[in-house]
Structure 1
Amino acid sequence: MSMYDGRSSASDPAQPSNARALEDALAPFEEGLRLQLRSADDILRDAAARKQMAKRSKTVLPVLALGALCAGLVWLDPAYQTETVSTAIGQRATVHLHDGSILTLNTGSQVTVAMHLRSRRMTLVHGEALFDVAHAPIRALERPFKVTANRTMVHDIGTVFNVRTRDTGVDVSVLHGRVRVEAEDGMSRELNAGQAAATRDGHLSSADVRSDAADWRDGRLVLNGTPLRDVVEEIQRYRQTPVILQEGSIGDIRVSGQFELSRLDQLIDLLPSLTPVEVQRRPDGSVRIDARPVRR
């Protein structure tokens, strides 16, 4: 006695006819299925294309990242070289900068030099300095040259110019070319060769500015009817020990002449013969200048 389990054997004669019936039933949908379902060749081609794109991305992305980094550095304008130069009291020095500019420092001065990718920035901490600015042969390669000092910015426009710090501002004078002087309040003024300007307390000032940069650079102190109080101030810049001037109208006495900066003690000794004053030298090296008593 045998039992039927509901499964067809391999020799079931109905199986081929069932397959044919399924193919006949799917025949009307063959074209649609072919459009919906990708062939093995299509799949292989897409895989190869994706692999090629991945290789390109590995090359392009680092290049793009490097380009973005370079653009960021140019925009940020970082300093790639910084140095500080200074002179002691009574000393003068000439410094040749890497860009070809020449920096001349007067007595007791300090300048911080910062070379940036897109600019050149100087800071006159104190004292006086003459800037002879070098310029690129091609305008597109030109980097701005700026000097900051005592709440003032000086922009070079093809120039040799002098900057001197004062108690509350700076004096700026131009030997050649042109500069723009900008005070902290945003007001500015352009100066041409032979002109000078001053700032005080962050504002442009009407203070009288003596343009004597060429004189001190050559080691000379040139006086042309200069008040004695101003003469003493200049002498003091080159001396360690004090020069004390009696208070009062003695400071209004005018002095003229040309003297060597390296021999200012001779000027002190000559004052009694040039003006009605007396000079007293003290053991500590200081000097006192008083009005000569009127003889009766």
Structure 2
Amino acid sequence: MNPSDDSDRLRREAEQWWLRLRDRGATRGDAEAFKLWRASSPSHARAWNEVARLWQEMDPVLKQAASRDPGLAHPSARRPVNPGRRAFFGTAVAAGGAALAVWPPLSLWPSLLDYTADFRTGTAEQRSVALSEALTVQMNTQTRINRRAAMDAGKAIELVAGEAQVDAAGGGEAVTVYAGAGATHARQARFNLRYTGPQVCVTCLQGSVAVEQAGRRQTLEPGQQLYYDESGLRAAVPADMAMVEAWRSGTLSFSGQTLAEVVDEINRYRPGRVLLRNAELAARRVRMRFAITQTDLALRMLRDLYGAQLTQLPGGIVLLS
């Protein structure tokens, strides 16, 4: 085994022990099992010490971040879990620690939902999935997709979180993509869906798609885009097609977005977490372009171009102030 792979595995195990031992339902048996795990080798002990030190150092920062933004967890965490996966969660997570394990603080490690998704991508990972001869889905970073049963003949999937481009090649087969509080229907079209916050963004690239939410329905033609959430559908507007498709070329481009928006996007492609701690800096408008594999370079660009101060912490955490 590659030494770095072994180190990553032990770190993940140590993080799982950290969660388990902090759960109010932890037992004496858990404590004894942990002692055996930690004593397995010096590498096990080292992994535990690093994780424990990180969370002790980060505790004040996490409390401050949570007080400013109680909605750090993805909104879909409040939706019912897929019944087919209920047994997994029942045995994997004690009730007191479920929320923390399913939606880890600041997304610093994969959640249980990541591992139960039918298809998923990790940080900075992209992949293409062919679900049939007529349906291909290209997944962006930090994306989870599940198969769904179609209401009528055809194919159906659910975008649980993240971003994906769906290519329905035709053949008369209906395709439905569920995301958040709505669904997108198509027969012969290419479209992009992004679900990284409270709203879902649907962009029609080719053909036409119908977006449905709470009984309302709106058709999008090529170059049109709309947002929706639980409160309803927004009006369709012209899309910046180059920006929508930029991720497929491995490049991120910003032209007038706030620095806070740029940091949110960097966090999708970079291990660890960047925490923005300056409200004035967060509101600055940014113009920059960088490859998704060069997020650390992007942080240095923010430092040099916009006067941001970078503070490096363990675990890939960076304070931007």
Range into which the TM-score falls when normalised by the shorter chain? 0.5 to 0.7
Report the CA distance between 1:157 and its aligned residue: 4.4
Distance (whole Å) between structure 2 residues aligned to residue 181 and residue 93 of structure 1: 25
Report the CA distance between 1:154 and its aligned residue: 0.3
**Residue of 156, 170, 173 corresponding to 1:121:** 156
1:111 aligns with 2:145: yes
Distance (whole Å) between structure 2 residues aligned to residue 274 and residue 160 of structure 1: 37
For structure 2, the 5+ residue unaligned runs are 1-116
1:146 aligns with 2:176: yes
Report the CA distance between 1:239 and its aligned residue: 2.4
| Partner in structure 2 of residue 288 of structure 1 | 319
Q: Please tell me the root mean square deviation across aligned C-alpha atoms, in Å.
A: 2.2
1:186 aligns with 2:211: no
**Residue of 155, 165, 179 corresponding to 1:130:** 165
**Residue of 94, 113, 119 corresponding to 1:85:** 119
Q: TM-score when scaled to structure 1? A: 0.63
**Residue of 177, 193, 198 corresponding to 1:168:** 198
Report if aligned partners of 2:251, 2:289 keep a CA contact under 8 Å in 1: yes
Distance (whole Å) between structure 1 residues aligned to residue 283 and residue 179 of structure 2: 30
Report if aligned partners of 1:169, 1:202 keep a CA contact under 8 Å in 2: no
**Residue of 302, 311, 314 corresponding to 1:271:** 302
Q: Deviations over 1:199-218 (max 9, x none)?
A: 12241136987653310011
Q: Deviations over 1:271-296 (max 9, x none)?
A: 12221322222233211111xxxxxx
Distance (whole Å) between structure 2 residues aligned to residue 160 and residue 91 of structure 1: 21
Report if aligned partners of 2:154, 2:174 keep a CA contact under 8 Å in 1: yes
Larger radius of gyration: 1
* Aligned length in residues: 202
Alignment-mate amino acid for residue 98 of structure 1? S
Report if aligned partners of 1:173, 1:195 keep a CA contact under 8 Å in 2: yes
Residues 220 and 114 (structure 1), Cα distance of their counterparts in 2 relative to 1, 3 Å cut: same
| Partner in structure 2 of residue 225 of structure 1 | 256
Residues 207 and 287 (structure 1), Cα distance of their counterparts in 2 relative to 1, 3 Å cut: farther
**Alignment of structure 1 residues 237-276 onto 2, 5 Å:** 237-276=268-307
Report if aligned partners of 1:148, 1:154 keep a CA contact under 8 Å in 2: yes
Residues 247 and 210 (structure 1), Cα distance of their counterparts in 2 relative to 1, 3 Å cut: farther
Distance (whole Å) between structure 2 residues aligned to residue 143 and residue 102 of structure 1: 13
Alignment-mate amino acid for residue 247 of structure 2? W
Distance (whole Å) between structure 2 residues aligned to residue 229 and residue 157 of structure 1: 37
Identity of aligned residues (%): 27
Distance (whole Å) between structure 1 residues aligned to residue 231 and residue 119 of structure 2: 25
**Residue of 200, 207, 215 corresponding to 1:177:** 207
Distance (whole Å) between structure 1 residues aligned to residue 167 and residue 291 of structure 2: 23
Q: TM-score when scaled to structure 2? A: 0.58
